[in-house]
Structure 1
């Protein structure tokens, strides 16, 4: 479980629960520090969340500073409709290479053959199966192009596809940093499920409407966020990347 700590009106984290418990036992954090984790209705003192760790906390004249991070507030997270609008823009852009692929791989001929079979009295189910087999290579190439389009753009210096860029959005990890190629590939692997069914991607994206940090299932699995603001408007704090396991000034 990941814990956020609030001190002096600022939010810090997230930190691992085991680390927070250890810091409580050693007095590195105060039992009066407020904390929150996903699923909690409101911020609570650490003494309330972890009473078993606070009964013997040594008194300290002052608490060491919490590490700074690029972690986003809930207000930074992009909502469902803004992300949907970005998707529409990207979809329209991708129609161009998809059309080229379809035309170059015989989709028009396959469709004409399909219509000829239907008009000739062929069984619609069999005609559709034959058409699906004929256009399958073009479909696979189109899916691959779309997959790489999202994966490479979202781990680029822009941290966004053209659609997200147009709407002023960026993709980050949970601490607001640029994601790696590997994480971007994992995040966008959900798009390949269109090969099997259109329902799974739909549910994945619909989750943005009800999750706390407006994450789709693909965001939750890859531990990513879609935030308001273009990457060019922010200066990444890479020094924060290793600050989650200890407190230091």
Structure 2
């Protein structure tokens, strides 16, 4: 593959923004009903909580429930995100909706389609790319093949079709 076929940082960033908007909508469609089912819907907040009349135990229980709900919502959102990126990039399209919109696809180092395992490794590698102050993502702007750290970990490329 010639160097001019690699997708650089900014193209990948815009593709991610498209995917992020889509995923936020999907996540809220899943998480809001779960919140409502456990009592944190609009009705619960409309009645309000009177902390002056609540016992200390009630306040602690409420804080624990809210913390648990936030953790569960974050976990559900993370699973949805990982599955979305993994399944889309391992599909026949080799791209998420954002990448498809910009004419990009994800391949292995030989230009072949990713299998599920390699696509999953790429997604887990994104945790590493993000945890080091996003430097793993920024690397895509400076490496020869426009690879981010997670691409190097998984042995993948993002290319223009």
Which one scores higher on RCO, CA 8 angstroms, separation ≥ 6? 2
Which secondary structure state, in structure 1, belongs to the residue aligned with residue 106 of structure 2?
strand
Q: How does 1:75-224 map to 2 (within 5 A)?
A: 75-106=4-35, 109=40, 112=45, 116=49, 131-191=66-126, 193=127, 199-200=131-132, 202-224=134-156
Unaligned segments of structure 1, at least 5 residues:
1-71, 230-249
Report how far residue 171 of structure 1 moved.
0.3
Conserved 8 A contact 2:125-2:150: yes
C-alpha root-mean-square deviation of aligned residues, in Å? 3.1
Report how far residue 119 of structure 1 moved.
9.4
**Distance change (3 Å), C-alpha of 1:167 and 1:129:** farther
Larger Rg: 1
Which secondary structure state, in structure 1, belongs to the residue aligned with residue 7 of structure 2?
coil
Q: How many residues align?
A: 150
Conserved 8 A contact 2:5-2:159: yes
So what's the TM-score if we normalise by structure 2? 0.79
Report how far residue 116 of structure 1 moved.
4.7
Determine the C-alpha separation between the residues in 2 that align with 1:102 and 1:144.
12
Q: Could you say which structure has the higher helix fraction?
A: 2
Report how far residue 117 of structure 1 moved.
7.8
Conserved 8 A contact 2:109-2:155: yes
Q: Could you say which structure has the higher strand fraction?
A: 1
Determine the C-alpha separation between the residues in 2 that align with 1:112 and 1:166.
39
So what's the TM-score if we normalise by structure 1? 0.53
